[in-house]
Amino acid sequence: MRGLLIFAVLFVAVLGKETFKGHQVLRITAKDEAQLALIKDLEDMIHFELDFWRGVTDVASPVDVRVPFHSLQSVKVYLETKAIQYTTMIEDLQTLLDMEQEEMEAAARAAGPRSTDSFDYSNYHTINEIYNFQDMLVRENPNLVSKIVIGQSYEGRPLSVLKFSTGGTNRPGLWIDTGIHSREWVTQASGTWFAKKIVTTYRSDRTLKAILNKMDIFLLIMTNPDGFAYTRTSDRMWRKTRKPNPGSSCVGVDPNRNWDAGFGGPGSSNDPCSQTYRGPCANSESEVRAIVDFVRSHGNLKSFVSIHSYSQMLLYPYGYTSTPAKDRAELHSLAKRAIKALDSLYGTRYRYGSIINTIYQASGGTIDWTYNQGIKYSYTFELRDTGSYGFLLPANQIIPTAQETWLALMAIMKHAYKTSD
């Protein structure tokens, strides 16, 4: 009976989902600045309905863009007439989505976990399964883990932060969040693995124990819960929040363009239909405002790490200005050390540097704001991969991704611990 119910739910969900049959992901490469400008022009060709997975940065960096089937011929003709090189990274996006769906259906047929020990960290989960995981973790580890609800999403879902603490008041803190862009599923999945990693290795890992004996770790796994729920039920490629925009049929704001750090500048859009729509004003999104309020009320966070995918990068401020951060040398040195630790496990190669010099100019971003609040060790990760699967990273890469990322996180947290007052 349970199997029939699961099948019925999945069947209804699939029927209501956006389909991407025939959509391709193209990797476009410019040979000079003139071609780069022509590629940039594609962003303004709204009728093509393009979805830029990796935006326009510099000549050395390729651009990945999802092209709907109805625009494929026109986009390819445009590129070919301009002699711009491109390759097809993903031949048919729906084929990958179907494979992902089959894996999730197989996982759903298994019995639900009775504890966090039996939770399946090697598969993608629903929002309720992740919420239930958090509750189980708190119940199992009452002396180490608690849950703080710092706010609600637009649709009323809780913004639940896991607090890892050995006790005490007014202690310095370390922040990690995942899933601010909802379609980046490997980030939320990695967040659940990080949470379990902390409770299972706290007593045996001397460094982690020393950190937690002095500092608290705060982990927000579901940073954009409405968007994530929507990726499961309706549109796997959804990135933004889900609050309606007055005067527009387009929904949502890019929560990583909504912070009060160069808000409204280059690298964000004033078009509600854009994937990088910044919103009507800084902190307009309740999901962003809740974190802002928490950071201000806590007042003693020593590091702030926001985790995205994809591209395999570790980034530090700034994104909205080319003016170097005053701590650039230290941030760069620590990023280098963190990436060396990450690389040591599976040989995964990452780039690192400031946002504006490594990926692109982006205004209103999370870590630019946190850095300006005095949180020196503010970083953004872009996890696996470099484009073969993009946002559709196979589930069998979740644990390896989380494992290697944890090594880099530990390098950052250890440095913050050693340099804190």
The three-class DSSP label of residue 103 is: helix
Alpha-carbon distance of 366 to 305, in angstroms, equals: 9
398-419 and 206-214 helices cross at what angle (nearest 10)?
Answer: 50
The three-class DSSP label of residue 268 is: coil
| Residue 122: exposure state from Cβ atoms within 10 A (0-12, 13-18, ≥19) | middle
The DSSP secondary-structure symbol of 147 reads E
Is residue 103 part of the annotated active site? The answer reads no
Contact predicate 185/391, CB 8 Å:
yes
Q: Which residue, chain included where needed, has tokens 């990693």? A: 197
Alpha-carbon distance of 370 to 296, in angstroms, equals: 10
| Residue 125: exposure state from Cβ atoms within 10 A (0-12, 13-18, ≥19) | buried
Report which of 392, 395, 391, 380 is spatially closest to residue 350, judged by C-alpha positions.
380
Say if residue 86 is preceded by a cis peptide, omega within 30 of 0.
no
Alpha-carbon distance of 278 to 253, in angstroms, equals: 6
Token digits of residue 61: 């960096």
Alpha-carbon distance of 8 to 219, in angstroms, equals: 34
The DSSP secondary-structure symbol of 324 reads P
The DSSP secondary-structure symbol of 116 reads T
In this structure, what are the phi and psi dihedrals at residue 24, rounded to the nearest 5 degrees? -120, 150
Query: 43, 184, 285, 382: which one is catalytic?
Result: 382
- Active site amino acids: 382
